[in-house]
């Protein structure tokens, strides 16, 4: 997934992202503005307001302004609130006027959030909205159009990412490996299960021992 980075200067960490953070969930926002992701991030990192967010997503791209291992000020739940201290903030652009650009920005945001969930091994329960933390009606347009609808978009993107091979396909060796796989099974070096799984060091040691014992 292509992410454009335009990070805030470390000289502004004290204003924008003062605390180290181990993220635990994603917090979804709408910008309530009509600027592009690039411009939202450029403005956020250049001003001196205690307002910040990790990512902005528009219809074309994802732009990052704060590293994920720093907190950001976006959730309205104070200096030690869980939203501000443990959430990755994602702003969806063009929500002021809405229209096709916003529809596309939401789609890209759903894809991006699914990608983040997969990367971190998180479930859909890790997707929160700004409203969960401070009661502010944000992400306003996403809420107007239906929060569950948006979660379903993320879920279907996540299913696509997780999908890939079906269970049946995973139990069949690839065509290029079939000969060697059958040989290893026949020789008793491998037990003939889980052809697509990773090999651990201890499993390799067992295979090497079996091979050595044959001689």
Looking at beta carbons only, is 29 or 141 nearer to Zn ion?
29
> Which residues bind to Zn ion, rule: CB under 5 A?
29, 130, 138
- Measure Cα distances from 6 to 9, 40, 50 in Å: 9, 11, 18
- In the complex, what is the shortest distance from the CB of residue 132 to Zn ion, in angstroms, rounded to a whole number? 11
- In the complex, what is the shortest distance from the CB of residue 138 to Zn ion, in angstroms, rounded to a whole number? 3
- In the complex, what is the shortest distance from the CB of residue 117 to Zn ion, in angstroms, rounded to a whole number? 20
- In the complex, what is the shortest distance from the CB of residue 29 to Zn ion, in angstroms, rounded to a whole number? 3
Looking at beta carbons only, is 33 or 39 nearer to Zn ion?
33
Return the sign of the alpha-carbon dihedral for residues 7, 10, 12, 16: positive
d(CA 187, CA 87): 52
Looking at beta carbons only, is 76 or 195 nearer to Zn ion?
76
- In the complex, what is the shortest distance from the CB of residue 162 to Zn ion, in angstroms, rounded to a whole number? 28
d(CA 58, CA 132): 23
d(CA 139, CA 29): 4
160-199 burial, b for 16+ CB within 10 Å, e for fewer?
eeeeeeeeeeeeebeeeeeeebeebeeeebbeeeebeeee
Looking at beta carbons only, is 52 or 64 nearer to Zn ion?
52
Looking at beta carbons only, is 29 or 126 nearer to Zn ion?
29
């Amino acid at each position: 997934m292509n992410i454009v980075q335009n990070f805030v200067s470390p000289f502004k960490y004290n204003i924008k992202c003062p605390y180290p953070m181990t993220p635990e969930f994603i917090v979804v926002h709408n910008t309530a503005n009509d600027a592009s992701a690039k411009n939202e991030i450029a403005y956020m990192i250049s001003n001196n307001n205690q307002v910040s967010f990790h990512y902005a997503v528009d219809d074309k791209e994802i732009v990052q302004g704060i590293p994920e291992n720093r907190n950001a000020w976006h959730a309205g739940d104070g200096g030690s609130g869980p939203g501000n201290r443990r959430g990755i903030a994602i702003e969806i652009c063009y929500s002021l006027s809405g229209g096709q650009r916003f529809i596309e920005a939401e789609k890209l945001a759903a894809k991006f959030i699914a990608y983040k969930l997969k990367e971190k091994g998180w479930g859909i329960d890790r997707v929160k909205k700004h409203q969960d933390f401070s009661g502010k009606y944000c992400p306003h347009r996403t809420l107007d159009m239906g929060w569950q609808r948006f979660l379903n978009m993320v879920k279907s993107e996540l299913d696509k990412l997780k999908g890939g091979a079906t269970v049946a396909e995973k139990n069949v060796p690839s065509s290029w490996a079939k000969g060697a796989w059958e040989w290893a099974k026949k020789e008793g070096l491998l037990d003939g299960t889980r052809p697509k799984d990773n090999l651990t060091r201890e499993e390799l040691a067992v295979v090497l021992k079996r091979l050595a014992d044959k001689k």
